[in-house]
Amino acid sequence: MTSNTTNRLYLVPTPVGNLGDMTYRAVEVLKQVDLILAEDTRTSRVLMQHYGISTPLQSYHIFNEHQTVASLVERLQGGTTMAVVTDAGTPGISDPGFLLVREAVKEGISVECLPGATAFVPALIDSGLPCDRFVFEGFLPHKKGRQTALQALAEEQRTMVIYESPYRLVKLLEQLMEVLGETRPVSVSREISKLHAETCRGTLREVHDHFAAKEVKGEIVVVVGGCGN
């Protein structure tokens, strides 16, 4: 790895489950930067302590990113090196990061995203559904625009990847059945890389019934076969 470079912003993936999934380079970068921007400093502090990282942490999340981005870019311009981490996975993928990257790029600041963990890739591969062409939908709108978003998926031929809360999973599967039919193939992965990791595959009806009969916990990735699969 090259030595610490001034005027640089790193986006550093963190494990979605097992802390051992952290890369060597990610640890080195987090030790070398001047400041780590963390979605939740309490969650990130556990990871930092595990790897002996003593770099200062600053809160950076969807509720303050618009208010803080200008000052952060100014500090980057002044030579501060920063890394962005989220609670789990790669910053910018359904998590904070994009806004700061966009503004840094505008100002000619070097930006580098390290390769690493993101939840949808293992869920997509584990699904057994075609992964040569897929569309990442992230979290669908909760209320306004949700039905429109669901209807737009009806004719999608590519495999679809959706993030969902465990509290809304069963409802999402019900809505997908209404739009796509009960026999559309689906795979639901939760607790990826953790002790109680689970992937349930089958038709929308089968997978719905499986999760409707139990308490659902953990981060959820839903992978749905495209039209004709």
| pLDDT, tens digit, 9 for 90 and up, residues 159-205 | 999 999 999 999 999 999 999 999 999 999 999 999 999 999 999 99
Select from 79, 95, 113 the last residue of a domain.
113
Who wins on pLDDT, 13 or 229?
A: 13
Number of domains in the chain: 2
* 10 and 84 Cβ atoms separated by less than 8 Å: yes
> For residue 35, how many C-alpha atoms fall within 13 Å in the half-sphere facing its CB?
16
* 67, 85, 113 - which closes a domain: 113
Q: Which amino acid is at 12?
A: V
CATH of the domain at 206: 3.30.950.10
48: in domain: yes
109 and 61 in a common domain: yes
Residues 140 and 66 occupy one common structural domain? no
pLDDT tens per residue, range 111-126: 999 999 999 999 999 9
Q: Are residues 154 and 97 in the same domain?
A: no
* 133 and 56 together in one domain: no
Same domain, 155 and 204: yes
Whether residue 1 lies inside any domain: the answer is no
Strand partners, 38: 59, 85
Between 122 and 5, the higher pLDDT residue: 122
Determine, yes or no, domain membership for 131: yes
For residues 4 and 76, the answer to whether their CB atoms sit within 8 Å is no
Predicted confidence (pLDDT) at residue 110 exceeds the cutoff of 80? yes
Model confidence, pTM: 0.90
Residue 196 CA from chain centroid, whole number: 19
Give the domain range for residue 126: 120-224
Pull the structure tokens for residue 6.
Answer: 């001034």
Say if 29 falls within a structural domain: yes
Give CA separation, 224 vs 86, 190, 213, in Å.
26, 15, 21
Q: Verify that 125 and 106 share a domain, yes or no.
A: no
- Among 113, 135, 167, the domain-final residue is 113
User: According to the model, what pLDDT value does residue 5 have?
Assistant: 52
67, 102: one domain: yes
156: DSSP letter: -
Overall average pLDDT of the 28-55 stretch: 97
The CATH number linked to 70 is: 3.40.1010.10
Judge if 108 and 156 occupy the same domain. no
Give residue 2's pLDDT: 42
Q: Are residues 130 and 212 in the same domain?
A: yes
With left for phi above 0 and alpha for psi between -120 and 50, is residue 81 left, alpha or beta?
beta
Is the pLDDT at 6 greater than 90, yes or no? Answer: no
Residue 3 falls inside a structural domain: no
C-alpha to C-alpha distance for 198 and 190, rounded to whole angstroms: 6
In a domain? residue 74 = yes
104 and 158 share a domain? no
Q: Is residue 213 part of a domain?
A: yes
**Which secondary structure element, helix H or strand E, spans residue 221, and what is its range?**
strand 220-224
Question: Residue 53: inside a domain, yes or no?
Answer: yes
Say if residue 99 is in the same domain as residue 169.
no
